[in-house]
Amino acid sequence: MKVCIAEKPSVARDIAAVLGANTKRDGYIEGNGYQVTWVFGHLCTLKEPHEYNPAWKRWSLGDLPIIPQRFGIKLIENDGSEKQFHIIEKLISTADEVINCGDAGQEGELIQRWVMQKAQCKCSVKRLWISSLTEESIKDGFANLRPQSDFDKLYEAGAMRAIGDWLLGINATRLYTLRYGQNKQVLSIGRVQTPTLALIVKRHLEIVNFKPEQYWELKTVYRDTTFSATKGRFTNEEEGRKFLNEVIQSDFEVTDISTKKGTESAPRLFDLTSLQVECNKKFGFSAEDTLRHIQSLYEKKVTTYPRVDTTYLSEDIHPKVPSILKGLQAYSNLTQSLLSSKIPKSKKVFDNSKITDHHAIIPTGVNPTNLSADEQKVFDLVARRFIANFYPECQTSTTSVMGKVENIEFKATGKQILVPGWRVVFEKDKKDDEENNEEEKTLPLFTKGERGPHKPDLNEKWTQPPKPYTEATLLRAMETAGKQIEDGELRDLLKENGIGRPSTRANIIETLYKRNYMRKERKNIFPTQTGIDLIQTIQHEILKSAELTGQWEKRLRMIERSNYQSQTFMTELKTMVATLVQTVKNDYGKTISIEEKEKEAPKKQEKKSTKKTEGKKESSKSATPPKDEAKAKKVETRPDNDNLCPICHTGLILKGNAAFGCSNWNTGCKFRIPFVFEGHTFTSDELTKLTKMETIQIGEKKVKLSAEGVFESI
């Protein structure tokens, strides 16, 4: 019997239908020699700190850094997950062969490998690797199953990512919470979320500290066309007025006219990030909204695999393009002309060297039905972008007109579309091009040497601060490690060093909102005071540097490609964590403002993917303590009744290196209980009684805390 393990029940049903397995069992579908079962995202995860060492359950600076000698995995504590795992475990124990049908990516490989490892799989394993869930794709994938060993390095990179996130998240979160958190909030630190927050804080501070500077521009209007002085800006008004006075009495003369013809290629096919950017610009969708919609379209078989970072197609897709276009029935007015001739095969679209795990997001050719309004919007973007890439290039003409008044030169530029080409696919979006209206206006017909009256003016202007990030511009910044790059090819070169992965960036942004590190005002993103203080407190550059974090991401990709040793990566990581802990332990006197999160109106619950992304791993493993850790944290530092200071009744009891104290010590509260008093080391029970103002016996003495907060013997 062959056991197939899919990433989720819906995918298992699709696979089972193709394989002819039609008998439903508890947790799997059987038939035709196959048993098709499924996972629910992550069934296994890395063990919690206290499962390596019971002492690590309690949050203490003295225990850091926490670095297990050997990492282990465990089942996620969830009745449904545990039940499904035991079903998979039983099926694997009697299988002749296991087929890994997990999500075709790094995290999908990790999810499946951990399940098979935990189930002690001993039989041979094959890998199904497909980019869409259509019947044709599934059949083709099963006809070309690959050995699991082909993906060993993919799994190794995924495991290093998970371990790295665990090590950095657990240690840095405990470290910064205990040192700076004032016992009011867990200060979540993560490999991806912290440098992302640093980008937001840096931009905010650039805006806050920006000092506008006044300048002047000399322009003149001749024949309803605005010409700008080629000299550029004037930094003082007096100089500008001098030039204005020179030109105000004389005629304008056209001195040169040049026309340059050019072509424009269609916008490149979508990867996940560019789709999220476009949806945020056009529809105001958050990155998480877009990911949810495109994932739904993938599961409805109308678009290909969404979590991709390439804008190219593999060359073997070219013969399939006509059938995909024929399937786009709602766009027949745009596809008919393409289907009447040979489909072009351009390197700008088809390039095997630019393909990693998957190709760009495109339609599958399945006619979409039962789409929500938002899903239809996303599908329309994907479909039109795909169609446009097979249209001819847009032909343009750019005209530059030079003129002068006296000896002062002026210039005007206009752009004219000669043949629209692919632009006809986006005619309904013409108004989106209005931003470039001034640059793309059509100029009147000028003649060299013509002269005439004009209307010059000196315009006062002020330099403008950088714009706040929106989700669209933040996604681009994460993709390019903070560098502002508009050119698509240059962006591709920087993707290797980007922050996070396409599939996790949406969740990272949501995590920063939930942690109250940043907030959104309309489309703009601003950091909270807590977020600002946290970034300014972090002195260890690796935690907040987009470029350094991008280099870490690059090393993980190199491991995936067998160009870097995972052991070297792990050694570097452990050294970094140890250095970080030592640096922060020696830092005194700083605190981080804890800004209260604004209450939001309850949102209607929406069905979300069960798959646990890297961002979710980071928020649950690094950003906040795991479930058991959260309980330990509550006892030690969370603001509950037992943790209120017994003297001022407003502060919280803090545990320092040598004593318990009050968080209001800086405003005069005297509460203090040393761990050792006159040679006696207090037990946990004794310390608890003392914090409750109870008297305890030490030998022949009785000791207690006075009403003034002074520790004394009776």
**Neighbouring residues of 314: CB distance < 8 A, sequence distance ≥ 6:** 350, 352, 355, 359
Whether cis (ω within 30° of 0) applies to the bond prior to 65 is: yes
- Tokens standing for residue 262: 């050019």
Q: Which residues are within 8 A (CB) of 62 and not within 5 positions of it... i.e. 6 or more apart?
A: 657
| Dist. CA 3–CA 124, nearest whole Å | 11
Q: Please tell me the distance from the alpha carbon of residue 430 to that of residue 353, in angstroms, as a whole number.
A: 34
Phi and psi, residue 89, nearest 5°: -60, -45
Q: Are 3 and 91 in contact (CB under 8 A)?
A: yes
Q: Which residue has the tokens 């491991």?
A: 559
- The Cα 476–Cα 378 span in angstroms is 19
Q: What span, in angstroms and rounded, lies between the C-alpha atoms of 95 and 90?
A: 9
Q: In whole angstroms, give the CA distance from residue 355 to residue 244.
A: 57
For residues 115 and 155, what is the distance between their CA atoms, to the nearest angstrom? 12
Residue 305 appears among annotated catalytic residues: yes
Cβ count near 673 (within 10 Å): 19
Q: What are phi and psi of 87, to 5 degrees?
A: -65, -45
Nearest to 440 by CA among 574, 589, 262: 262
The answer to whether the beta carbons of residues 325 and 342 sit under 8 Å apart is no
Do strands 2-6 and 34-38 pair parallel, antiparallel, or not at all (unpaired)? parallel
Q: 3 vs 114, 119, 121, 152, CA distance in Å? A: 16, 13, 11, 20
Question: What DSSP element (H or E) covers 35?
Answer: strand 34-38
* Contact predicate 115/41, CB 8 Å: no
Residue 575 sits at the vertex; the CA angle it makes with 572 and 578, to the nearest 5 degrees, is 150
Q: Active site residue: 155, 305, 391, 517, which one?
A: 305
Q: Which residues, including other chains, have CB under 8 Å from residue 103's CB and lie 6 or more apart?
A: 7, 111, 307, 611
Beta bridge partners of 20: none
Q: Which amino acid is at 578?
A: A
What does the alpha-carbon distance between residue 1 and residue 124 come to, in Å, rounded to a whole number?
A: 12
Q: How many CB atoms lie within 10 A of CB 453?
A: 9
Q: How far apart are CA 651 and CA 183, in angstroms?
A: 10
User: Would you state the structure tokens that stand for residue 357, as one six-digit string?
Assistant: 């795990």
Check whether the bond before 465 is cis (ω within 30° of 0).
no
**What is the three-state SS of 329-380?**
HHHHHHHHHHHCCCCCCCCCCECHHHCCCCCCECECCCCCCCCCHHHHHHHH
List of residues 6+ apart from 32 with CB closer than 8 A: 19, 20, 21
Length, in residues, of the chain: 714
Selection from 7, 33, 9 nearest residue 19 by Cα: 33
Please tell me the distance from the alpha carbon of residue 510 to that of residue 286, in angstroms, as a whole number.
9
Locate the DSSP E strands across 406-540.
408-419, 451-452, 455-462, 469-470, 518-521, 524-527
Contact 607, 498 (CB under 8 A): no
Q: Could you list the active site residues?
A: 305
